[in-house]
Amino acid sequence: MTSHVFTALALAAALVAGPAQAGRSCQSRPLSLQTLQQGLALAEHTARRLEASGAQVAVIARNGQDLSRYGLRYSHLGLAYRDEQAGRPVWRVVHKLNHCGTARAAVYRQGFAEFFLDDLHVFEAGIVPLTPRVQQPLLAALRDNRRATTLHTPAYNMVAYPWSVRYQQSNQWAIETLASALEPAVRNREQAQAWLKLQDYRPTTLRIGALTRLGGRMTAANIAFDDHPNDKRYADRIETVTVDSVFRWLERSGLGRHEEVVR
Protein backbone atom coordinates (compact mmCIF):
# COMPACT_ATOMS: atom_id res chain seq x y z
CA MET A 1 0.00 0.00 0.00
CA THR A 2 1.31 3.45 -0.86
CA SER A 3 -0.61 5.58 1.63
CA HIS A 4 2.35 6.02 3.95
CA VAL A 5 4.38 8.01 1.43
CA PHE A 6 2.02 10.96 1.29
CA THR A 7 3.02 14.10 3.13
CA ALA A 8 0.36 15.76 5.27
CA LEU A 9 -1.57 18.45 3.41
CA ALA A 10 -3.38 21.06 5.45
CA LEU A 11 -6.80 22.03 4.18
CA ALA A 12 -7.40 25.57 3.00
CA ALA A 13 -8.49 26.60 6.48
CA ALA A 14 -5.50 24.92 8.13
CA LEU A 15 -2.47 26.61 6.60
CA VAL A 16 -0.89 27.31 9.95
CA ALA A 17 2.53 26.92 11.49
CA GLY A 18 3.52 24.98 14.55
CA PRO A 19 2.97 21.46 15.86
CA ALA A 20 -0.50 20.01 16.24
CA GLN A 21 -2.00 17.25 18.31
CA ALA A 22 -5.26 15.63 19.30
CA GLY A 23 -5.61 12.60 21.48
CA ARG A 24 -1.87 12.18 21.89
CA SER A 25 1.03 13.61 23.87
CA CYS A 26 2.15 17.11 22.89
CA GLN A 27 5.68 16.59 24.16
CA SER A 28 8.43 17.05 21.56
CA ARG A 29 10.51 13.87 21.38
CA PRO A 30 12.80 12.49 18.66
CA LEU A 31 11.09 9.83 16.56
CA SER A 32 12.75 6.47 17.21
CA LEU A 33 13.27 3.84 14.52
CA GLN A 34 10.97 1.47 16.42
CA THR A 35 8.20 4.08 16.57
CA LEU A 36 8.62 4.75 12.86
CA GLN A 37 8.37 1.05 12.03
CA GLN A 38 5.36 0.51 14.30
CA GLY A 39 3.54 3.52 12.91
CA LEU A 40 4.12 2.51 9.28
CA ALA A 41 3.10 -1.07 10.00
CA LEU A 42 -0.13 0.04 11.68
CA ALA A 43 -0.89 2.36 8.73
CA GLU A 44 -0.34 -0.53 6.32
CA HIS A 45 -2.45 -3.00 8.32
CA THR A 46 -5.29 -0.49 8.66
CA ALA A 47 -5.34 0.26 4.93
CA ARG A 48 -5.37 -3.46 4.10
CA ARG A 49 -8.21 -4.12 6.51
CA LEU A 50 -10.26 -1.31 5.00
CA GLU A 51 -9.53 -2.53 1.47
CA ALA A 52 -10.79 -5.97 2.49
CA SER A 53 -13.96 -4.44 3.95
CA GLY A 54 -15.03 -3.08 0.57
CA ALA A 55 -15.88 0.28 2.15
CA GLN A 56 -14.90 3.64 0.68
CA VAL A 57 -15.41 5.63 3.87
CA ALA A 58 -14.77 4.69 7.50
CA VAL A 59 -14.26 6.22 10.91
CA ILE A 60 -10.81 5.37 12.27
CA ALA A 61 -9.31 5.97 15.70
CA ARG A 62 -5.97 5.86 17.45
CA ASN A 63 -4.88 5.23 21.01
CA GLY A 64 -2.62 8.18 21.73
CA GLN A 65 -3.15 8.51 25.47
CA ASP A 66 -4.02 6.24 28.36
CA LEU A 67 -7.65 7.10 29.12
CA SER A 68 -8.42 3.87 30.96
CA ARG A 69 -9.19 5.75 34.17
CA TYR A 70 -12.22 7.12 32.36
CA GLY A 71 -13.16 3.75 30.91
CA LEU A 72 -12.12 4.82 27.40
CA ARG A 73 -10.00 2.96 24.85
CA TYR A 74 -9.33 5.52 22.10
CA SER A 75 -8.34 9.17 22.24
CA HIS A 76 -8.92 10.59 18.75
CA LEU A 77 -10.77 9.81 15.54
CA GLY A 78 -10.72 10.85 11.91
CA LEU A 79 -12.86 10.34 8.82
CA ALA A 80 -11.02 8.09 6.36
CA TYR A 81 -11.79 7.71 2.67
CA ARG A 82 -10.46 5.73 -0.27
CA ASP A 83 -8.84 7.58 -3.13
CA GLU A 84 -6.60 6.62 -6.04
CA GLN A 85 -3.15 7.78 -7.08
CA ALA A 86 -1.72 6.64 -10.40
CA GLY A 87 -4.34 3.90 -10.51
CA ARG A 88 -3.48 2.59 -7.04
CA PRO A 89 -5.72 2.73 -3.96
CA VAL A 90 -4.73 5.30 -1.37
CA TRP A 91 -6.44 5.88 1.98
CA ARG A 92 -6.50 9.38 3.43
CA VAL A 93 -7.92 10.75 6.65
CA VAL A 94 -9.48 14.15 7.38
CA HIS A 95 -9.37 15.17 11.03
CA LYS A 96 -9.10 18.12 13.36
CA LEU A 97 -5.89 18.81 15.29
CA ASN A 98 -5.24 21.09 18.23
CA HIS A 99 -2.18 23.35 17.99
CA CYS A 100 0.08 22.44 20.88
CA GLY A 101 -0.06 24.80 23.84
CA THR A 102 -2.95 26.83 22.44
CA ALA A 103 -6.74 26.90 22.40
CA ARG A 104 -6.85 26.83 18.58
CA ALA A 105 -7.21 24.00 16.08
CA ALA A 106 -7.48 23.35 12.35
CA VAL A 107 -8.64 20.59 10.01
CA TYR A 108 -6.04 18.51 8.13
CA ARG A 109 -5.94 15.94 5.35
CA GLN A 110 -3.25 13.28 5.87
CA GLY A 111 -2.11 9.84 4.84
CA PHE A 112 -2.46 7.00 7.31
CA ALA A 113 1.23 7.09 8.20
CA GLU A 114 0.98 10.68 9.43
CA PHE A 115 -2.14 9.79 11.38
CA PHE A 116 -0.39 6.93 13.22
CA LEU A 117 3.21 8.15 13.12
CA ASP A 118 3.61 9.18 16.73
CA ASP A 119 4.61 7.71 20.06
CA LEU A 120 1.15 6.26 20.64
CA HIS A 121 0.11 4.75 23.95
CA VAL A 122 -0.79 1.53 22.15
CA PHE A 123 -0.12 0.85 18.48
CA GLU A 124 -3.59 -0.24 17.53
CA ALA A 125 -6.38 1.27 15.48
CA GLY A 126 -10.14 1.11 15.76
CA ILE A 127 -12.11 1.15 12.52
CA VAL A 128 -15.83 1.34 11.77
CA PRO A 129 -16.63 1.04 8.05
CA LEU A 130 -19.71 3.10 7.31
CA THR A 131 -22.82 1.71 5.66
CA PRO A 132 -23.52 2.36 1.94
CA ARG A 133 -26.14 5.07 2.53
CA VAL A 134 -23.59 7.07 4.54
CA GLN A 135 -20.53 6.57 2.36
CA GLN A 136 -21.37 8.48 -0.83
CA PRO A 137 -22.58 11.78 0.70
CA LEU A 138 -19.74 11.79 3.23
CA LEU A 139 -17.15 10.91 0.58
CA ALA A 140 -18.21 13.95 -1.46
CA ALA A 141 -17.92 16.20 1.59
CA LEU A 142 -14.47 14.91 2.57
CA ARG A 143 -13.04 15.48 -0.90
CA ASP A 144 -14.21 19.11 -0.87
CA ASN A 145 -12.05 21.42 1.28
CA ARG A 146 -14.85 23.95 1.69
CA ARG A 147 -17.46 21.42 2.78
CA ALA A 148 -15.03 19.63 5.09
CA THR A 149 -14.43 22.85 7.02
CA THR A 150 -17.90 24.46 6.82
CA LEU A 151 -18.77 23.55 10.43
CA HIS A 152 -15.25 23.93 11.79
CA THR A 153 -14.79 26.20 14.82
CA PRO A 154 -11.13 27.08 15.52
CA ALA A 155 -11.75 27.63 19.26
CA TYR A 156 -10.67 24.29 20.73
CA ASN A 157 -11.59 22.68 24.03
CA MET A 158 -10.54 19.12 24.79
CA VAL A 159 -13.72 18.53 26.82
CA ALA A 160 -16.12 20.70 24.81
CA TYR A 161 -19.79 20.30 25.69
CA PRO A 162 -21.49 18.42 22.81
CA TRP A 163 -24.55 20.70 22.68
CA SER A 164 -22.73 24.04 22.65
CA VAL A 165 -21.03 25.94 19.82
CA ARG A 166 -18.65 28.00 21.96
CA TYR A 167 -15.82 25.52 21.40
CA GLN A 168 -15.30 22.42 19.31
CA GLN A 169 -13.07 19.42 19.93
CA SER A 170 -11.80 16.99 17.32
CA ASN A 171 -14.33 14.18 17.67
CA GLN A 172 -17.14 16.74 17.82
CA TRP A 173 -16.08 18.24 14.48
CA ALA A 174 -16.18 14.76 12.92
CA ILE A 175 -19.74 13.86 13.89
CA GLU A 176 -21.06 17.34 13.12
CA THR A 177 -19.47 17.10 9.68
CA LEU A 178 -21.06 13.69 9.22
CA ALA A 179 -24.42 15.20 10.16
CA SER A 180 -24.06 17.97 7.58
CA ALA A 181 -23.15 15.47 4.87
CA LEU A 182 -26.17 13.24 5.57
CA GLU A 183 -28.75 15.98 6.10
CA PRO A 184 -28.75 18.69 3.39
CA ALA A 185 -30.86 20.96 5.60
CA VAL A 186 -27.98 21.27 8.10
CA ARG A 187 -26.29 24.63 7.55
CA ASN A 188 -24.70 25.35 10.91
CA ARG A 189 -23.48 23.65 14.07
CA GLU A 190 -26.72 24.16 15.99
CA GLN A 191 -28.63 22.28 13.28
CA ALA A 192 -25.98 19.55 13.16
CA GLN A 193 -26.29 19.04 16.92
CA ALA A 194 -30.08 18.92 16.67
CA TRP A 195 -29.75 16.20 14.02
CA LEU A 196 -27.36 14.24 16.24
CA LYS A 197 -29.86 14.36 19.08
CA LEU A 198 -32.60 13.10 16.77
CA GLN A 199 -30.30 10.26 15.73
CA ASP A 200 -29.82 9.36 19.41
CA TYR A 201 -26.14 10.24 19.73
CA ARG A 202 -25.23 9.98 23.43
CA PRO A 203 -22.05 11.65 24.70
CA THR A 204 -19.78 10.19 27.35
CA THR A 205 -20.17 11.51 30.89
CA LEU A 206 -16.81 11.94 32.64
CA ARG A 207 -16.62 12.29 36.41
CA ILE A 208 -14.24 15.21 36.94
CA GLY A 209 -14.07 16.87 40.33
CA ALA A 210 -13.81 20.60 41.02
CA LEU A 211 -10.11 20.55 41.93
CA THR A 212 -9.23 18.65 38.76
CA ARG A 213 -11.30 21.07 36.69
CA LEU A 214 -9.64 24.06 38.31
CA GLY A 215 -6.17 22.63 37.77
CA GLY A 216 -6.89 21.81 34.15
CA ARG A 217 -8.31 25.24 33.37
CA MET A 218 -5.37 27.03 35.02
CA THR A 219 -2.59 24.94 33.48
CA ALA A 220 -3.84 24.08 29.98
CA ALA A 221 -5.05 26.53 27.34
CA ASN A 222 -7.00 23.80 25.54
CA ILE A 223 -9.19 22.79 28.49
CA ALA A 224 -12.28 24.75 29.52
CA PHE A 225 -15.51 24.00 31.36
CA ASP A 226 -17.44 27.24 30.94
CA ASP A 227 -19.54 25.84 28.08
CA HIS A 228 -21.01 23.10 30.30
CA PRO A 229 -24.36 23.69 32.07
CA ASN A 230 -23.85 24.70 35.70
CA ASP A 231 -26.04 21.94 37.11
CA LYS A 232 -23.97 19.24 35.42
CA ARG A 233 -20.62 20.90 36.00
CA TYR A 234 -21.17 21.42 39.72
CA ALA A 235 -22.27 17.79 39.98
CA ASP A 236 -18.88 16.80 38.49
CA ARG A 237 -20.60 15.48 35.34
CA ILE A 238 -18.69 16.56 32.25
CA GLU A 239 -20.26 15.41 29.00
CA THR A 240 -18.12 15.31 25.87
CA VAL A 241 -17.73 13.52 22.55
CA THR A 242 -15.44 10.49 22.81
CA VAL A 243 -14.37 7.95 20.22
CA ASP A 244 -15.93 5.15 22.23
CA SER A 245 -19.32 6.90 22.32
CA VAL A 246 -19.17 7.58 18.57
CA PHE A 247 -18.35 3.94 17.77
CA ARG A 248 -21.26 2.73 19.90
CA TRP A 249 -23.61 5.24 18.27
CA LEU A 250 -22.60 4.35 14.72
CA GLU A 251 -23.41 0.69 15.26
CA ARG A 252 -26.58 1.37 17.27
CA SER A 253 -27.96 3.79 14.67
CA GLY A 254 -27.14 1.60 11.69
CA LEU A 255 -24.80 4.23 10.24
CA GLY A 256 -21.75 2.00 10.67
CA ARG A 257 -20.73 -1.60 11.11
CA HIS A 258 -19.27 -3.27 14.17
CA GLU A 259 -15.96 -1.87 15.43
CA GLU A 260 -12.83 -3.74 14.35
CA VAL A 261 -9.44 -3.54 16.08
CA VAL A 262 -6.29 -3.49 13.96
CA ARG A 263 -2.81 -4.12 15.35
Backbone φ, ψ for residue 237 (5° rounding): -105, 105
CB-CB neighbours of 244 under 10 Å: 20
Residue 252: CA atoms inside 13 Å, Cβ hemisphere, count? 11
**In the chain, where the domains are located:** 3-262
* Confidence check: pLDDT of 15 > 80: no
At residue 119, the pLDDT reads 66
Q: Give the burial class of 88: count Cβ atoms within 10 A of its Cβ; 0-12 exposed, 13-18 middle, 19 or more buried.
A: exposed
Query: Predicted confidence band at 13 (pLDDT cuts at 50, 70, 90)?
Result: very low
Mind listing the pLDDT tens digit for each residue in 180-220? 999 999 999 999 999 999 999 999 999 876 545 444 444 46
* Confidence check: pLDDT of 27 > 60: no
Provide mean pLDDT across the span 128-141: 96
Provide mean pLDDT across the span 23-38: 69
Backbone φ, ψ for residue 241 (5° rounding): -85, 120
At residue 85, the pLDDT reads 82
At residue 9, the pLDDT reads 33
At residue 117, the pLDDT reads 83
At residue 233, the pLDDT reads 87
Q: Give the burial class of 146: count Cβ atoms within 10 A of its Cβ; 0-12 exposed, 13-18 middle, 19 or more buried.
A: exposed
Provide mean pLDDT across the span 169-186: 97
Lowest-confidence segment of 3-7, 86-90, 97-101, 107-111 by average pLDDT: 3-7
Residue 86 or residue 10, greater confidence: 86
Helices (H) and strands (E) in the chain, counts: 9, 10
Mind listing the pLDDT tens digit for each residue in 60-93? 999 988 888 888 999 999 999 999 887 888 999 9
Residue 101 or residue 230, greater confidence: 230
In this prediction the pTM is 0.86
The mean predicted confidence, pLDDT, of the chain is 85
Provide mean pLDDT across the span 250-256: 97
Strand partners, 99: 20
> Considering the chain, what percentage of its residues have pLDDT values greater than 90?
66
